[in-house]
Amino acid sequence: MPDNHHVKPGERAIVLLIRILAWLPLPLLYVIADTLYLLLYYVLRTERKLVDDNLQHAFPDMPLPERKQLATKTYRNALHVLFETIHARRISEKELRRRVQFDNLKLVEQLLKQHGKVLVVAAHQGNWEWLNLASSLCLPAPLATLYKPLGHPAIEALLNQNRSRFGGRMIAAQSALSQLVRFTREPGIIAVVADQGPQPHEEKTWATFLNQDTAFYPGIEKLARVLEMPILFTRVTRLRRGYYRVNVNLLGEPPWPAQEGSVMEAYIHAVEQQILDHPADWLWVYKR
């Protein structure tokens, strides 16, 4: 954990609250999540306009009542993910394996035998935190996950402690390449949730995504090319509250074509299709 002298009191309070909530059983956490949903959506109206605008741009032909219903599902699911993430601090290996199930792991094994290393990409769909934690248990090689620092060191340290409970390794994106080169000297899997928008000063690639011109950070394609890795997409489907199925699909493998862009195009298409199939499970509460 970071030096307490450099941690703001509000951040320290959030860390303490997470530690306390993590002791509660998951059914009770869902009750708290549903109560917060009613408060945030109907009373405080937190980020209501942002969510409504995002959904209107993505689904312009959807009737307004249907879009409002989708917005309420989005809020509830996002809060369930938040409290499931808190529960990840105490979840057992047995419970996690029961709640997050993988299909098509033979494909991962086959690619590891052929290439020795694999890049696995995901989106903010379903529960990406449980996906990462379960991947360190279920995938057939050591896992290193790239992440963007939050700017809140105490919260970040707590989250990374949770994420690495079952042996996974967390690597900050800005120091990634040198560490990943060393990591991939042995068979291994690199994971990244890649649908976050880049900062204004960062390199970006543009695509039409959910009816809008959208910027993506092209880092996954650069990684796949530099480290000569095949790239897999993990499609996460919420079966019911607290249960997910993960299907692993191949986006591409080396040798890569000379012209860049094929990996990002395949990834963006996979993310968009997943959202269109299950729109309530994507994280609509941030600006794209």
DSSP track, 139-160: SSS-EEEEE---S-HHHHHHHH
Reading the block at residue 100, the tokens are 């997050």
User: How high is the pLDDT of residue 2?
Assistant: 56
Q: In this structure, is residue 242 part of a structural domain?
A: yes
Q: Which helix (H) or strand (E) holds 168?
A: none
User: How high is the pLDDT of residue 7?
Assistant: 77
Cis peptide bond prior to 255, omega within 30° of 0: yes
Reading the block at residue 194, the tokens are 């890649």
Q: In this structure, is residue 196 part of a structural domain?
A: yes
Q: In this structure, is residue 126 part of a structural domain?
A: yes
The 10s digit of each residue's pLDDT in 92-132 is 999 999 999 999 999 999 999 999 999 999 999 999 999 99
φ and ψ of 122, to 5 deg: -140, 180
Strand partners, 5: none
User: How high is the pLDDT of residue 196?
Assistant: 87
Reading the block at residue 185, the tokens are 């000297």
CA gap 142, 164 in Å, rounded: 11
User: How high is the pLDDT of residue 3?
Assistant: 54
> What's the domain count of the chain?
1
Q: What is the mean pLDDT of the chain?
A: 94
User: How high is the pLDDT of residue 4?
Assistant: 57
Q: In this structure, is residue 288 part of a structural domain?
A: no
Q: Give residue 273's domain range.
A: 4-281
CA gap 148, 193 in Å, rounded: 10
The 10s digit of each residue's pLDDT in 209-231 is 999 999 999 999 999 999 999 99
Chain center to CA of 201: 23
Token pair 């903010």 in the structure block, residue? 124
Q: In this structure, is residue 194 part of a structural domain?
A: yes
CA gap 83, 85 in Å, rounded: 5
Low-confidence ranges of the chain (pLDDT < 70): 1-6
